[in-house]
Amino acid sequence: MSITAAVINGIAILALLIAFFKDKEKAIQSLKIAGKSFIKIIPMVFIVIIIIGLLLGFVPPDAISKFVGSQSGLSGVLLIGVAGAIMHVPSIVAFPLSASLLESGASITAVAAFITTLTMIGFVTLPLEIKALGKKMAFLRNGTSFIIAILIAILMGMIL
């Protein structure tokens, strides 16, 4: 187990203990929600795990780096940013996918753009957002999010 995983598990156990100490009923309810969410996300986890295997096994690194690597420039970043905006996958599984992209030659900029647009922009949920907040605010939020996602990505590439 990596240190990160150990710390995360430690925090979860500690939080759970505190929760049980404070309010047993609520803690049990939390565990039920945790179990349900776990079952719900499992198929998605396996889908992404298989895709990662195929990606690392079959797609040659130069192909990936050509599209979203450091040579691909801004067009590669925009391309993967749009992909992230349209894709509707739980963000939790987006991170292993991003790690495998990095491993096989994608640039930090591209991966940061992918994660940021994926989490911030909800193309599929846009109708719901319009219903809740109105057209203007929904379009402004999603549109501006895309621009700042690209800015964050470019800065990430410069810093790291």
**Interaction residues for other proteins, span 36-55 (CB under 8 A):** 37-38, 40-41, 43-47, 49-55
One residue of 63, 71, 86, 144 binding other proteins per CB under 8 A: 144
Exposed/middle/buried for residue 147 (C-beta within 10 Å: 0-12, 13-18, 19+): exposed
Give the DSSP letter of residue 121.
Answer: -
One residue of 67, 70, 78, 119 binding other proteins per CB under 8 A: 119
One residue of 56, 82, 83, 87 binding other proteins per CB under 8 A: 56
**Backbone φ/ψ region at 121: left (φ over 0), alpha (ψ -120 to 50), beta:** beta
Q: Does 21 bind other proteins (CB under 8 A)?
A: no
In the numeric block, which tokens belong to residue 50? 């298989």
User: Contact region for other proteins (CB under 8 A) — 61-69, 71-79, 115-123?
Assistant: 115-123
Q: Which residues contact 155 (CB under 8 A, 6 or more apart)?
A: none
Q: Does 74 bind other proteins (CB under 8 A)?
A: no
- How near is the Cβ of 74 to other proteins at its closest, in Å? 18
Q: Does 71 bind other proteins (CB under 8 A)?
A: no
The CB density around residue 56, as the number of other CB atoms within 10 Å, is 14
Q: Does 86 bind other proteins (CB under 8 A)?
A: no
CB 102 within 8 A of CB 52: no
Question: Rounded to the nearest 10 degrees, how much is the dihedral formed by the CA atoms of 159, 89, 49, 71?
Answer: -40
One residue of 61, 74, 125, 135 binding other proteins per CB under 8 A: 125
One residue of 62, 71, 91, 135 binding other proteins per CB under 8 A: 91
- E strands, 10-58, are none
Q: Does 24 bind other proteins (CB under 8 A)?
A: no
